[in-house]
Amino acid sequence: MADLTRLTAAQTAEAIASGETSAVDVAQAHLDRIDAIDEKVHAFLHVDTEGALAAARAVDAKRAKGEELGPLAGVPLALKDIFTTEGVPTTVGSKILDGWIPPYDATLTRRLKEAGVVILGKTNMDEFAMGSSTENSAFGPTGNPWDLTRIPGGSGGGSSAALASFQAPLAIGTDTGGSIRQPAAVTGTVGVKPTYGAVSRYGMVAFSSSLDQGGPCARTVLDAALLHEAIAGHDPLDSTSVDAPVPAVVEAARNGDVRGLRVGVVKEFGGEGYQDGVMTRFHESVELLRELGAEIVEVSCPSFTYALAAYYLIAPSECSSNLARFDAMRYGLRVGDDGTHSAEEVTALTREAGFGAEVKRRIMLGTYALSSGYYDAYYGSAQKVRTLITRDFERAFGDVDVLVSPTTPTTAFPIGERADDPMAMYLADLCTIPSNLAGNAAMSLPCGLAPEDGLPVGLQIIAPALADDRLYRVGAAVESAFIARWGHPLLEEAPTL
Amino acid sequence: MTVTDDLVSYEDALASYDPVMGLEVHVELGTRTKMFCGCSTELGAEPNSQVCPTCLGLPGSLPVVNAVGVESAIKIGLALNCEIAQWCRFARKNYFYPDMPKNFQTSQYDEPIAFNGYLDVALEDGEVFRVEIERAHMEEDTGKSTHIGGATGRIHGASHSLLDYNRAGIPLIEIVTKPIEGAGERAPEVARAYVAELRELIRALGVSEARMEMGQMRCDVNLSLRPHGTEKFGTRSETKNVNSLRSVERAARFEIQRHAAVLSGGGTIIQETRHFHEEDGSTTSGRIKEEAEDYRYFPEPDLVPVAPSREWVEELRATLPELPRVRRERLREEWGISDHEMQSVLNAGAIDLIVATVDAGAPADQARKWWMGELARRSNEDGVELAALPITPAQVARVCALVAEGKLNDKLARQVIEGVLAGEGDPDQVVDKRGLAVVSDEGALGAAVDEAIAGNPGIADKIRDGKVAAAGALVGAVMKATRGQADAARVRELILERLGVQG
């Protein structure tokens, strides 16, 4: 058997189901791989060796009894450390949750376990998912497998790096402003932000409740679809969860086709601030879509100009409230509990010591934006912009079936380059944020390497809410056309670690 | 700093000033589970035994709205003659306190479920006063802090505090009045009557037991004074957690006297929260609100809007019980009693007991006689509520029936009631065990009568001579001989019959 870590999730599941290999062997191969290279990459915050092997053994036992296995049974997965896992630490990349072992599984965690997915461990992330580089993790940065001195994107850099370095064929991310798609783009992997409400948020530590959305990360479009199907679906524990059938994403991924499809190119994405090589690959992708039979239409979404500003009011506002619960009273870090401080002082000391600079910055921004007398000007206006952006999308989707854009304006930047410049960091999410504000579905998939730096570029596809299957139909067509053109998947060109 | 408040007499206060009140009442709903999770709401459980990730505010947890809570809120709104929102949202009220697991309270802000209503309340003399309702909204209760080591049980001076989150997340409905103006000297009475009426209403709706002593219903009394003839409201004080009807009245009265003293002395009222003291009916300064607290309300993004369909609202409206005040008026007429008597029945908490006794077959006057007489006396003596006495309306009705059938007389009936209260069983069992039945065997009774006539020839002669009034002595003798178990009226009849005299 070839190197088990190079297989796709679909291939892995098939090999286990057919008895070609065992789930334990697959899990062990990935644990060995993690052991061998993760010191360099730092994709994982916690590796659950025992849990992974136990889950793998259970899959093998099930197969031995002749029971039917699900489409992802035995496939290893790297779980972003923002989902609660019963009995396994969950840090959200923060010191504030030091020592907390969740007493419950997130709905997503439970669904993965029920599907027989083998959770290898918890991946690194920007603290509370606030960031675009994973440099805001309290536990140190993660390296981009294409160049370990560069960022793997964020906030889900641990998940994207785990995929790109073949430490796991599947990963879970969460996307509040681009935290699945931007890491996918800069690591040459596939990431999908499903329609808001498609994947339960129960047990996903909240950053910005109205924007947060969990989703699949993988190395192929089909793998992402298989994972999407496993984690999506209505959850009575999440009131904002969509109560509708999950779109047929796997079927779409198996039947890539863009013939007759109307594809919109958003005029407002591009120009100043966009790297030449990124735009080159993007234009090539649009050309490819045309060659494959799609009709290309230019559309305008004028309100997108204000998306970043609105986002940086709404997300901090919600986070200032969501993160209030970290007060040292019930769980996690507690500082100053020496009998000389009041409860109020212990809370203040703990939050001072436990939160990083970016988290504090956003809590302060949000607290200010929600303050009496400022609410209308800030939070209120931002919500109006959000409505305008949603209308821009609606108008555009009246004309076209999907929209395309570069996922991110630049390729992976060096670690440390934007660490002291929050505004520069925020710009990384320029193209991804509108979809979070509107709650629709979007995917990033690799569309080549930028000529000037040889680093991956992502193509973003956006579909209307609840039409997630379109992403996979278009994505699969583009993916197979590119692989045919390149002669191999893009990740084959990544350096060996 | 200890401040001793000066007071002016109530009459003097009212001579110069006009009180304006606002009442905020929190009602804990009697739902089986909490407002946003499936935890039990049962009282008296081990601390922190009725908690889950959601009501503990654990990272990642999310709320789900309790549909029964929403239904109860709508019922309350309808009973208070409110409009019911077509569409409304929950909002987060942000502030830090250790007994609040998320450090925000899920509440409602500018979109309450019910608004613009009124409640007509009857005062002692039957006068009806209309209290306008601003809004009723849904929210969740906090946990409970117990401060250890301080002298007063307050946080000041405590060495540590214990937190119990069993109460965290229990559904609350907050009912806020519009400013109550024009009540004048009757303001404290109106406050009391309003809270009493609201309590009756909540109970009649079946949405909460509204037991104030259990904290299931809590009242904040906001009060300000303005000089007669002026329109502008004065600065208010907010007296928190006034938890009995009597206290509501006393708190309002105290604040009127205190405000008047401050204002007439040329001082200004500080906007502050005040604590009420049951012992002497006074209030003392709590925390001063130097600036309005900024709760940074915003719509709760973890919950979807509540949009009760008009059909549902109308269905609920159709299920509303008769309003307590209307019902009381109907019963008063049916029972043929005065406003004042009805007020006594209400104050004794006897209305439902009497109704149930009547439903079990007793005549209304008899039912009322027992509950307001013998049983009220016992409840007073034992210091328990009438409803808590170990006797049921059905048992009282049975006693009434036995009297009507002539099997018991009043004196015996009291003994039966006593037996039931003492746990000796149902009325019939007590009658059997104690051998209390009226002697109605004509033969036995006749013998006793003959014996009495024979033993008192002088009296018998007087009766034969027409002194019918003397029969009482012979009746007494018969009653004594039968140890009170004879029907006195029948005994009298027999005596007169035997002596050939017309009664």
Domain boundaries, chain B: 10-315, 324-434, 442-498
**Taking Cα atoms as reference points, which of A123, A118, A122, A108 lies closest to residue A52?**
A118
Q: A17-26, A179-188, B102-111, B320-329: which range is least confident on average?
A: B320-329
The span from the CA of B343 to the CA of B337, in Å, is: 10
Residue A294 vs residues A265, B102, B303: alpha-carbon distances, Å = 12, 50, 40
Mapping DSSP to helix (H, G, I), strand (E, B) and coil, where does residue B339 land? helix
Q: How far is B306 from chain A (nearest CA, A)?
A: 11
Judged by CB atoms within 8 Å, which residues 82-101 of B form the interface with A? 92, 94, 96, 98, 101
Chain Cα centroid distance, residue B481? 47
pLDDT on residue B289: 59
Asked whether the predicted pLDDT for residue B493 surpasses 90, the reply is: no
Chain Cα centroid distance, residue B110? 31
Q: How far is B238 from chain A (nearest CA, A)?
A: 21
The predicted model gives B71-98 an average pLDDT of 97
Which chain B residues are within 8 Å of A329, Cβ to Cβ?
98, 163
Are A238 and B62 within 8 A, CB to CB?
yes
Q: Which of B55, B287, B298, B306 should we substitute to test contact with A (largest number of A Cβ atoms within 10 Å)?
A: B298
Task: Identify any residues that bridge with A190 across adjacent strands, giving them in sequence order.
Answer: A218
Is 3.90.930 the CATH classification of the domain at B442-498?
no
Name the more confident of B158 and B48.
B48
pLDDT on residue B451: 87
Mapping DSSP to helix (H, G, I), strand (E, B) and coil, where does residue B287 land? strand
pLDDT on residue B150: 74
**Taking Cα atoms as reference points, which of A195, A193, A182, A198 lies closest to residue A215?**
A193
The span from the CA of A52 to the CA of A76, in Å, is: 8
- Stated as kind and residue range, the H or E segment containing B334 is helix B324-335
Q: Which of A80, A122, A325, A351 should we substitute to test contact with B (largest number of B Cβ atoms within 10 Å)?
A: A325
The predicted model gives B300-308 an average pLDDT of 97
pLDDT on residue B410: 83
Is there a contact between B259 and B234 (Cβ–Cβ < 8 Å)? yes
Tally of domains in chain A: 1
**Taking Cα atoms as reference points, which of B340, B343, B374, B341 lies closest to residue B357?**
B374
Are A205 and B302 within 8 A, CB to CB?
no
Are A371 and B102 within 8 A, CB to CB?
no
Which chain A residues are within 8 Å of B304, Cβ to Cβ?
239-240
Smallest Cβ–Cβ distance between A379 and the set B63, B104, B298 belongs to B298
Q: How far is B3 from chain A (nearest CA, A)?
A: 26
A413: exposed, middle or buried (Cβ count in 10 Å: 0-12, 13-18, 19+): buried
Asked whether the predicted pLDDT for residue B460 surpasses 50, the reply is: yes
Which chain B residues are within 8 Å of A370, Cβ to Cβ?
94, 296-298
CATH assignment of the domain containing A246: 3.90.1300.10
Percent over 90 (pLDDT), chain B: 67
pLDDT on residue A282: 98
Residue of B nearest to A103 (CA): B53
Is there a contact between A333 and A353 (Cβ–Cβ < 8 Å)? yes
The span from the CA of A394 to the CA of A387, in Å, is: 10
Q: Does B60 touch chain A (CB under 8 A)?
A: yes
Are B59 and A209 within 8 A, CB to CB?
no
Smallest Cβ–Cβ distance between B296 and the set A327, A330, A370 belongs to A370
Active site residue A62: no
Residue A404, in any domain of the structure: yes
pLDDT on residue B2: 40
**Taking Cα atoms as reference points, which of B204, B246, B174 lies closest to residue B22?**
B174
Name the more confident of A384 and B431.
A384
Active site residue A303: no
Are A104 and B53 within 8 A, CB to CB?
yes
Is there a contact between A171 and A58 (Cβ–Cβ < 8 Å)? no
Kindly name the residue from A159, A179, A285, A320 that is annotated as catalytic.
A179
- Stated as kind and residue range, the H or E segment containing A265 is strand A262-266
Are B57 and A320 within 8 A, CB to CB?
no
B272: exposed, middle or buried (Cβ count in 10 Å: 0-12, 13-18, 19+): middle
Q: Does B457 touch chain A (CB under 8 A)?
A: no
Are A325 and B161 within 8 A, CB to CB?
no
Smallest Cβ–Cβ distance between A209 and the set B59, B103, B301 belongs to B301
Q: Does ipTM exceed 0.90?
A: yes
The predicted model gives B6-26 an average pLDDT of 95
A352: exposed, middle or buried (Cβ count in 10 Å: 0-12, 13-18, 19+): exposed
Mapping DSSP to helix (H, G, I), strand (E, B) and coil, where does residue A447 land? strand
Tokens of residue A370, six digits: 């929600």
The span from the CA of A168 to the CA of A451, in Å, is: 28
Residue A378, in any domain of the structure: no
The span from the CA of A272 to the CA of A63, in Å, is: 56
List helix spans (H) across A42-136: 49-64, 107-114
Are B302 and A237 within 8 A, CB to CB?
no
Q: Which of A105, A200, A330 should we substitute to test contact with B (largest number of B Cβ atoms within 10 Å)?
A: A330
pLDDT on residue B346: 87
The span from the CA of B219 to the CA of B191, in Å, is: 10
Q: Does B301 touch chain A (CB under 8 A)?
A: yes
Residue A11, in any domain of the structure: yes
Q: Does B161 touch chain A (CB under 8 A)?
A: yes
pLDDT on residue A349: 98
The span from the CA of A281 to the CA of A264, in Å, is: 17
pLDDT on residue A1: 57
Mapping DSSP to helix (H, G, I), strand (E, B) and coil, where does residue A290 land? helix
Are A325 and B64 within 8 A, CB to CB?
no
Are A371 and B65 within 8 A, CB to CB?
no
The span from the CA of B25 to the CA of B469, in Å, is: 63
The span from the CA of A23 to the CA of A4, in Å, is: 10
Binned at pLDDT 50, 70 and 90, residue B125 comes out as: confident
Residue-range definition of the domain harbouring residue A227: 4-303+387-493
The span from the CA of A302 to the CA of A288, in Å, is: 26
**Taking Cα atoms as reference points, which of A403, A456, A492, A486 lies closest to residue A185?**
A456
Residue of A nearest to B104 (CA): A321
Residue of B nearest to A203 (CA): B60
Q: Which of B58, B147, B164 should we substitute to test contact with A (largest number of A Cβ atoms within 10 Å)?
A: B58
Binned at pLDDT 50, 70 and 90, residue B440 comes out as: low
pLDDT on residue B294: 92
The predicted model gives B44-50 an average pLDDT of 96
Smallest Cβ–Cβ distance between A210 and the set B57, B64, B301 belongs to B301
Amino acid letter, A376: D
Which chain A residues are within 8 Å of B103, Cβ to Cβ?
324-325, 327
Smallest Cβ–Cβ distance between A97 and the set B59, B296, B297 belongs to B59
Please tell me the number of Cα atoms within 13 Å of B350 on its side-chain side. 26
Active site residue A360: no
Q: For residue range B370-396, what is the model confidence (pLDDT) as tens digits?
A: 999 999 999 888 888 888 899 999 999
List, run by run, the mean pLDDT of 10-residue segments along chain A (497 residues). 91 97 98 98 98 98 96 98 98 96 98 98 98 97 98 97 98 98 98 98 98 98 98 98 97 97 94 92 98 97 96 98 97 94 94 98 97 92 97 98 97 93 87 98 98 98 98 98 98 95
Task: Show which residues on chain A lie within 8 Å of chain B, measured between beta carbons.
Answer: 83-84, 90, 92, 97, 100, 102-104, 106, 201-206, 208-210, 236-240, 317-318, 320-321, 324-327, 329-331, 343-344, 347, 367, 370-372, 375, 379
Which chain B residues are within 8 Å of A90, Cβ to Cβ?
59-60
Please tell me the number of Cα atoms within 13 Å of A348 on its side-chain side. 5
Residue A54 vs residues A27, A50, A113, B437: alpha-carbon distances, Å = 10, 6, 11, 79
Q: How far is A372 from chain B (nearest CA, A)?
A: 6
Residue B277 vs residues A140, A300, B26, B239, B250: alpha-carbon distances, Å = 56, 67, 19, 10, 10
pLDDT on residue B160: 85
Asked whether the predicted pLDDT for residue B463 surpasses 80, the reply is: yes
- Would you say the C-alpha torsion B438, B439, B441, B446 has a positive or negative sign? negative
Tokens of residue A414, six digits: 């060096």
pLDDT on residue B1: 34
Q: For residue range B237-296, what is the model confidence (pLDDT) as tens digits?
A: 999 989 999 999 999 999 999 999 999 999 999 999 999 998 999 999 987 655 567 999
Is there a contact between A264 and A396 (Cβ–Cβ < 8 Å)? yes
Residue of A nearest to B303 (CA): A239
Are B65 and A239 within 8 A, CB to CB?
yes
Task: Identify any residues that bridge with B180 across adjacent strands, giving them in sequence order.
Answer: B21
pLDDT on residue B82: 98
Binned at pLDDT 50, 70 and 90, residue B407 comes out as: confident
Chains A and B form CB pairs within 8 A to the count of: 102
Task: Identify any residues that bridge with A88 across adjacent strands, giving them in sequence order.
Answer: A85
Kindly name the residue from A132, A133, A155, A405 that is annotated as catalytic.
A155
The predicted model gives B306-322 an average pLDDT of 96
